[in-house]
Amino acid sequence: MIVVSDTTPLIGLASIGRLELLLELFGEVYIPQAVYDETVIRGHEEGIAKQAVSSADWIRVVEAQDRLAVDVLLDEMDLGEVETIILAKEMNADWVLMDERKGRRKLSQLNIPKIGTIGILLKAKQLGLIPTLKPEIERLQKSGFGIAQAIVGEVLNQTGE
């Protein structure tokens, strides 16, 4: 399975000590150089994510090759999202981990399956990797991760929490 991740799911999961869920769910995770730079090089606001991502030997940094496509999409999104989408297309990814609305819309247009941070936690709960979802979501929210209340309610309703 080929999984490419954007920055936000890495930072969100690392901030609550759950980055390893990606390894358990997907095995290797690929990130473009821009996502590595956002998370590790310039990731000063999230020291936890910086440490967790840089030390995860199952996260592989791969350079997106189609620079023209990257430049074209930069009008719509930031570099991390754009490189994530281009790399996913180049690698024929099975999944893209992304939360940003514009990026998710572009992935839908390209018919590339996507899952966000809350979806990852939901899948982990369904597979028994975490016992309950509500405390994880609350910790995410306390760390400054923005989640629409409608989504929180819907997901907790699905799990009966």
- Domains in the chain with CATH codes: 3-159 (3.40.50.1010)
Calpha distance 17→139 (Å, rounded): 10
Give the residue ranges of DSSP H helices in 5-115: 7-15, 20-26, 33-36, 47-55, 67-73, 79-91, 101-109
Identify the residue whose tokens are 């009008």: 75
pLDDT of residue 149: 84
The model's pTM is: 0.92
pLDDT at 50: 85
In whole angstroms, what is the distance from residue 59 CA to residue 49 CA? 13
- Tell me if 64 sits within 8 A of 31, measured CB to CB: no
Confidence of residue 3 (pLDDT cuts 50, 70, 90): very high
pLDDT digits (tens, 9 = 90+) for 24-75: 999 999 999 999 999 998 765 557 788 889 899 999 999 999 999 999 999 9
Q: Cα–Cα distance between 161 and 156 in angstroms, integer? A: 5
Residue 13 near residue 21, CB atoms below 8 Å: yes
- If you average pLDDT over every residue of the chain, what do you get? 92
The 3-5 sheet, strands edge to edge: 59-61, 29-31, 3-5, 95-97, 114-115
